[in-house]
Each structure stands twice: as structure tokens, then as C-alpha cells.
Chains A and B, each alone.
Chain A
Amino acid sequence: MASATGPEKTEAVAATESLGSELAESVRPRGETPPAPAPSVSTARHEGHEIMVTTTYEVVVDGRPVTARLHVDDSGMVSSPGLPYHRFASALDAVRVLVSTYPGDFRGGT
């Protein structure tokens, strides 16, 4: 692939077409099982001890498990891939915003 920052006009489009091709090749083959939601793992050293905290959220909406995962960072804040610029103090708030941002993924409700 040409440099992504090349000044030549035709190079730019060629680079973008090549980018599309490389991105397509990087996509998981159809039918391959996606990885299970990974737990969040936080580690720290404290007074000579190695600390590891593993967190897994199990989220159910209207009786159905939610595939969107929640991640907790080292400061205890929660985020989710569907809301990449948000950070929440509450996991419930994170799910509330997921439901209102992606209504098509959460059909039903009353």
C-alpha cells in the first residue's frame, strides 16, 4: 500500500482502495464464532503485592442476554464499544444509554 499520507492525487485514491481491500481481508471469516465477551482485568502493585481484579458483567434486557459488553477501567468507570466516547459511573446508566441509542437492537419493551 502506498503511504497513507502521500501528496499525489491518484495515490490517495489508490491508497484508499487498497485500504478497503486490506480491511476486508482483516475481517473475521463468515461463520467463525466471535470471541466470548472478555472480562475486564485491572492490575496494580501495592506494598509489594500484585493485585488483579477481574470483572464480568452479565446484562439482561427484557429477559434476553445483551451481547454488547461492558468494560470497567482501572478507575472503576464503565464503558461499552457501542458508546466509545462515553464513560459511566453506573453500569445501569451505560445500559440505559445503549437502549436509547440503539432502539433497533432492543425491540419490544413497554
Chain B
Amino acid sequence: MAPVTRKNVLRDQKSLNDYVRGVGLLKQRPSGRYTSEFNIPGPMEPISLYDIFVLWHILTGDSAIPPGGDPMRRNQAHRGPTFLPWHRRMLNLFEANLRFVLNDSAFALPYWDWTADGDSGSPFDAPVWRPGCMGGQGDPVSSGPFAFHANDPNTFSVHIETDAAGNPSQPDRPRGLVRDFGRSEPDGWPTLPTSGDMKAALTYRPSGPHPKPEDGYDTLTYDVDSDGFRSRVEGWLPASRPWMHNQVHMWVGGDMVPMSSPNDPVFYLHHCNVDRIWEARIERYDGRVYAPDMTAPADPYLGIRIDDQLGPPAAAGDTPRRMLGWVSSEHYVYDTLP
């Protein structure tokens, strides 16, 4: 199969149009699952195929590594080295579902290069937020393809969210999407990452007398405080403030703040850009390296080592090593790498 090309959402109208249409189709398509199966309080409601991805993200964020440990120290998808491969896997499956509902095997997820907006002063009316793209901010969002129209049964609406403890919940009734741009600290963050911030993460080099190549990716203790490209692009280090991935979630605000952040379709454009930056690091600096390797002890690192199964759930063969090599002439490429 020829590779598809993931393009900048502002430079390819077809990718944008197809993405918007595909999201709407996934929202309408039932998954066969119901809220009661996930012990979500409230009435038993069907869950759409789109919202299965929201639940996947919530439940994975609560799955500790090691099992039985503390998901706030490290979980299957965040706060540790699987952050990049796990989200690459999520994007791939989401993209494959869009291909199916669009009946277009050439569809590729577009990305949002938020550093361009960061370099321009993080304007609230940047092209990506215009009605012809993702629409703007609001409670609910009232412009663009994901605006809420209370009397339209097919309007874009949020059905799965989390409570303050991070547990899956549902609103009293389906509600509109919420965005609240550029709130000040501590609620949010007033600016988006700049190209300078991205370059600092891309060119990070481990210190010390004899660093191994994989030390550039991640290091002991493989959590929010371990230095490396992963922790810097995820946004934990330097620890003085949020950076990169975390900073974007905090700047967009609203539904991008909780673990149910895939509710906002801009989540996938954001993570596609994170994935593009990872690929740039691989291509231009590190090569396909990852840490930890299989010499790390299973206790406490089972689930994050290079040949461990990514989860949940138990998909055959999806390991960090497999995701590391997924971008290729066989699967997908990016139009440009930073």
C-alpha cells in the first residue's frame, strides 16, 4: 500500500473537509456499547464510535504502570515513555476509522502546526479557529462545523466527560463543545508554543560524560521528572511551566483540559502535530531510538519497555518498537517535517 501524506490543515482544503465530514459520521455511527457497561452514572445511553476513542483515552489515563501503581506517576499513555507511541497508535486507529466512514483509503489526518500561531502571538482568531476550519471558542462553541445547535438532533455534541476525580461521566443532557482560549495561570496558559520552543525540544541533548543514544529520548525514572525529548515534548520539563503538548491543551481550555480531551476534534490535529515533531526528532537527530529497552526490570517498568505490549487493550503486536517504525514508505509520511 502506498503511504498517505498527512498535511497541514490550513494548506489542504480536501483534508479539512474530509476530516470534518468523517468526524460527523463517526459521531453518528453506534459502537454497540452503552454507558451502563462502563458504570457511567445516569441513563443508559448508546456510545458512538467517535466516543469510544474518548473513553479509551480516559480509561488508559487511569491505567497505571506498573499495574496496581499510581496512574499519576506514570500511566499507559501519559507521564512516561509510551506517551508518543501510544498516541501514534491512537491516531492510526482513528485515521483508519475515518477512512472507512469516508470510503476513502487515501484519507490522511491533517495536523495543526500550533507553533505558527505561537510565533504570531497566539491570536484567538488564527486561521485554524475560523468558521471555515475548526470554529472558535465559546461555551458552547457557536461557530464552525462543531458549533452547537440545541434544536438539531444531529448537532455536534459532547456525551462523555469526566468528573473532578477523573472518572468517566456523562452530562445531564448532551451539550455543546467548550473552548476557552488563553486563560491565565493557574487555570490555563496564555500563549501557544513557539517554533523556538519546538527547536529547543528537538535539539535537546543529554548531558553527562557518556550518554547513550536512547538517553536523548527518556531516562530513569521514566516519569514527568525524567529528562529527555519525550518529557520535553509532552510538556513537563523544564519544570518551571507547561510546554509543548501540555501547553496546547491548557491554552485551548474547555474540553481540552480533562482526560476526555478527544471530545474536541482539534485534539487529533494537535496530536498529529506532536507525532510530526516526534518523527522530525527521529529523522533529523536521534534515529529510531526509544528507552527503556528490555534490560529494564519488569518491576516497575513492565508496559513501557520497547517490546512490551501497548495497552489497554491487548492489541496484537502493538509495541513501542512497532510504533517507532510505523512512519515509513508503507504507511504514512508528513508533507514537511520541522
Which DSSP category, helix, strand, loop or mixed, fits chain A's interface? mixed
Contact A106 B55 (CB under 8 A): no
Min Cβ gap B325→A in Å is 11
Given contacts A5-B89, A7-B96, A15-B315, contact A27 B250 (CB under 8 A): no
User: In the bound complex, do residue A84 and residue B318 qualify as a contact, i.e. CB atoms below 8 Å apart?
Assistant: no
Are A19 and B313 interface neighbours, CB within 8 A? yes
Interface flags for A57-70 (1: CB within 8 Å of B; 0: not) read: 00000000011110
| CB-contact partner of A68 in B31, B165, B250, B326, under 8 A | B165
Q: Which residues from B are CB-within-8-Å of A88? A: 186
Q: Are B163 and A102 in contact (CB-based, < 8 A)? A: yes
- Which of chain A's residues have a CB closer than 8 A to the CB of B70? 38, 40-41, 71
- Residue A33, interface by CB 8 Å: no
Query: Hey, which chain B residues are within 8 Å of A77, CB to CB?
Result: 224, 239
Assembly CA distance A4 to B323 (angstroms): 11
**B163 CB to closest chain A CB, in angstroms?**
6
CB distance from A62 to the nearest CB of B (A): 13
* CB-based contact B72/A81 at 8 Å: yes
Give which listed residue, A13, A68, A90, contacts B100 with CB less than 8 A.
A13
Interface SS majority for chain B = loop
Q: Are B225 and A74 in contact (CB under 8 A)?
A: yes
> A52 within 8 Å of B by Cβ?
no
Q: Which residues of B contact A13 (CB under 8 A)?
A: 49, 97, 100
B33 within 8 A of A: yes
Segment among B8-16, B56-64, B203-211 that sits at the interface with chain A: B56-64
B234 (CB) vs chain A CBs: closest residue: A85
* Min CB–CB distance B259 → chain A (angstroms): 5
B64-89 vs A, Cβ < 8 Å mask (1 yes, 0 no): 00000011110000100000000001
Q: Are A85 and B246 in contact (CB under 8 A)?
A: yes
**Listed residue (B59, B93, B100) with the most chain A CB atoms within 10 angstroms of its CB:** B93
Given A22-B313, A84-B61: A105 and B242 within 8 A (CB)? no
